[in-house]
Amino acid sequence: MKKFTSLFCASIISFSTVLTFAGNKCEVIIPGRDLSKIPFVMTKGLVDGEDYLSKTIIFRVKPNYRQNCKVNSVDNILPVQDFLNAIGAQNLAKIYPHHEMPAQERNALGQKLVDLSLIYSFKYTADIQLVKAINQMKSLGYFEYVEPWYVPKIHLNPNDPQWSSQYHLVGTGVVGTGSINCPNAWNITTGSTSVIIGITDTGTELNHPDLAANLYHNTGDGPAVNGVDDDGDTYIDNYDGWDVGMNDRDVTWQGDSHGVYTSGDACAVTNNSVGVASPGFNCKFFMTKIADAGGILIAAYNGITYAADHGAKIISNSWGGGGGGSYGQNIIDYAVINKNCVVFASAGNGGADQLVYPSSYNNVYRVSWTTSGDAKSGSSDYGNDVDWAAPGSNILSTSSGGGYGPVSGTSMSCPVSAGAAGLVQSQFNYTNAFQIGEKLKQTCDPLPASSQYVAGKLGKGRIDVYSALTVAAKSLMANPITITDGNDDVFMPNENLSISALYTNYLDPSSSSASAALTVVSGPGTVTVGSPYSIGSLATLGTNSQSAPFTVNIQSGALPNAVIQFKLTITDGTFTGSQYFSVTVNEDYINITINDVFTSITSKGRIGYNNDGQANGLGFEYQLPSPENLLYEMSLMIGTSSTKVSDMFRGGATGDTDFGSLARVYQVTPATVSDFDADGKFNDAPAPSAIPVEVHHSAYAWVASPYRKFIIVKYVIKNTSASTLNNMYAGLLADWDIPNATPQDKAAYDAVNKIGYVWNPNITGPYAAFKLLTSAGATHYVVDNIAGGGGGIDPTAGTPAFDTQEKYTVLSTNRAADGFTATGGDVMDCMSTGPLSVNAGDSVIVAFAIIAGDNLADIQNTACYAQQKWDNTGPCATGVSEVTADNFWMEAYPNPASSTVNINYNIVGSGNASLKLVNSLGEVVMAFDNLPMGRNMLPVDVSKLSAGNYFCQFKTGEAVLTKQFSVVK
């Protein structure tokens, strides 16, 4: 800028009547001459295309047009508006929107104060040279100056002592060197301190000499620890960040120093004569600690949310696992869509083509690991969903205790990429965060085939940050992609699927030849219509919603749960982008998502997930106040002895697979019982020692309050043997994790309401519970899922572990509560009913409500509503009109009773209510007429009745409720 200023001053001497100089600066005053209209000339030899931003203009409005100057516009000046429209101006805005005109023209020394409030910039899209655009704008006469956005250069290799050992930064990005080409990139930008990179990890080291200066601080809360939420973000004293794992302000690492390394990988202070360098250079990072005191990542997705809410444009996540689910995808979508962040995640270190989350979620950039020779590390995961690779072998970075050391893994590749992304955002200031990731992705250096290279499964290659800053690039993506069959969206053999997409152009404008082609990579599908599809010309951030969708036929021989994998290839000239997606067809499970509990009902006795390892299904998600998956595993269990238990729960190294589908579960339409009815059938023929039984199963869910917090599952269990089944128990067993695999749960039993419930005593809600709805005896057993069993059965011992004998114990005996301390542990909870006696060819009905709630009272209240629904929809109800919790319900307790049974009921807007007690022979043993309206309790003395089963028949108008209870002596 000094050279330019001097040349500019010299070039206008002939037009000046007064020139005053102060040191090496000049103020030019030219009476009667409007210097703003002097044509701009790009001086050869001094600047070139790398010295200024392409198609970007800075201008300052003359003070006499101040009233026209808004933050994002210059209003009511028609020639200016016409020019900006004609040139395709985008993102016009004040550079300093929070500055105001100085109150005085000059300071005490007579020097003119600078007014930043009238300075604007914008980018334009028209195909016009920058010099010509500037001169056209200058000629309008409304601006003090119109200039390029110059980019001063620096030329350096950092002076960090261990810089030469950082192969991934040193060098020029030549393939085979492992370098991401940082020195050339730093000659363009060393990063902006306004670009914040969020690191979610085990914590960092606040006073590390190579981290402290680049640590972002929440100045709104200030460095002083005053116990006050100064900035109103609901976090107290979160100046350095926040520990969501321990819910405190201290983000210092605990248990595992992993986060110290990843902090330095992205943002170690560079060119400070200390330690190491990092690609992010001047970019700031802030740590969101997601681990507990032992370094276990107990709040990983909470960390993404915190980072997104607190200003991180780029979020780096060097962690993952095999468990997916809707909750994690919800959090990713929140960060990307709601908060406009770009999210990176490590691909995983398993050396396999496998899904790892969060990196395999939609809207996440998945990063694999390459070596110093640009080969894929043998330990790096890979796959069609990988976006790119980055160096990860022996990455020298910051370590605990103020030290340095080399570490390997995709945990390094991810923050190295995040640091590079910081430079990209510093240079381009993209409005949409996806543009950051796409510019880094589309400018990668392609990797050659080698023994370590997995063709097509390392994304676009190895990142080159210099190329990202200098090379023009296109990026067309389809997101979302919509698949439908035009009716029930249950994809069955011989059906046609319509596949449509919203295409978005993130980088340079596309041409009219841009198109998309759909192919089937594997699975029982055939593309019949629509490929290729013309996308056409799209401006940057322009979209095209596909109006002529692809049609895919599901082949007739599709097996249950078959997966069709598709490849969508988008081309535009030299640009080629590939996206892979898949759809499961002929599914033997169904998702229920109509109320506040989301879950999956399978065709073979499992609930929540169709397969082992939390695969194919929603788990059991409680949606309030935000989605929480409370389930690891759940299955129906039926047993008649210690040698005969049929189930799909874990047993030994893998889950038991004792049930097989006879009729695939499906949604009953129209629903006849609830708002969502599901129905199917299975038996235990696959069991090594079948009972044998056949199970007709149903599930029910309701939309309206107060029935939104549960689903009902009903099992009609038929004895298919030639003899009576005695001592049979049927129940649901679940490994609850509240929330999300935190092994800190407690379990207990509410005998009055026949509820087995689980909660985490270390947090406020949620609770999960089973409620037995049918009238046979209730059994509840809590398993301490630890070695030794904590006083109950030991599910970890023996060969196989958790065998048939232990499962029958869980089904048929009582253990009301866990054996853990007040802080809890890992529990499994079983709610069952029995003993049942079922004659050959006969059936018995067993039903449960699966409940989620905010606390114990909420669970108990919901259990009452679930019982109402069961009584109204199950086999005991006759002639029932529409019944709701507000006009007609009844509950009997205690049950069983020995002296008094209390009948709670509610009647609104109806008369002539009566109650009859009927014995098992159908004889009326007591009767009560003209019961009062409203919510009441009727105590009934049953001390003189014989032991046995009785029925309460409660009638008002034409509606009847029947409730069974037992009298014991």
Alpha-carbon torsion (196, 197, 201, 202), positive or negative: negative
* Between 452 and 764, residue with greater pLDDT: 764
The Cα 663–Cα 680 span in angstroms is 5
The Cα 788–Cα 435 span in angstroms is 53
Mean pLDDT within 717-732: 96
- By mean pLDDT, which of 467-471, 528-532, 920-924 is the weakest? 920-924
What mean pLDDT, rounded, does the chain reach?
83
The Cα 933–Cα 936 span in angstroms is 8
- By mean pLDDT, which of 361-375, 440-454, 746-760 is the weakest? 440-454
- List residues with catalytic annotation: 201, 258, 411
From residue 913, how far is each of 890, 900, 903, 907, 950 by CA, in Å? 12, 21, 13, 8, 20
The DSSP call for residue 336 is I
The DSSP call for residue 884 is -
The Cα 53–Cα 895 span in angstroms is 79
Mean pLDDT within 39-60: 58
CB atoms within 10 A of CB 909: 10
- By mean pLDDT, which of 79-88, 243-252, 949-958 is the weakest? 949-958
Q: Which of 882, 847, 598, 851 is nearest to 707 (CA)?
A: 851
CB atoms within 10 A of CB 743: 15
The full length of the chain comes to 969
Q: What are phi and psi of 485, to 5 degrees?
A: -105, 5
The Cα 702–Cα 596 span in angstroms is 10
Q: Which of 803, 838, 878 is nearest to 695 (CA)?
A: 838
501: enclosing H helix or E strand: strand 496-505
Q: Label the pairing between strands 284-289 and 241-243.
A: parallel
Q: How confident is the model at residue 960 (pLDDT cuts 50, 70, 90)?
A: low
Q: What are phi and psi of 712, to 5 degrees?
A: -110, 135
pLDDT given at position 419: 97
Mean pLDDT within 366-375: 90
Give the pair of three-digit tokens for residue 484.
Answer: 């439908």
Does residue 629 contact residue 655 with C-beta atoms inside 8 Å? no
The Cα 324–Cα 356 span in angstroms is 8
pLDDT at residue 502 greater than cutoff 60: yes
pLDDT at residue 864 greater than cutoff 70: yes
Q: Which of 630, 633, 846 is nearest to 757 (CA)?
A: 630
pLDDT given at position 794: 92
Q: How confident is the model at residue 99 (pLDDT cuts 50, 70, 90)?
A: low
pLDDT at residue 174 greater than cutoff 90: no
CB atoms within 10 A of CB 119: 18
Nearest-Å Rg of the Cα atoms of the chain is 35
The Cα 474–Cα 38 span in angstroms is 37
Residue 370 CA to chain centroid, in angstroms?
Answer: 27
Does residue 415 contact residue 169 with C-beta atoms inside 8 Å? no
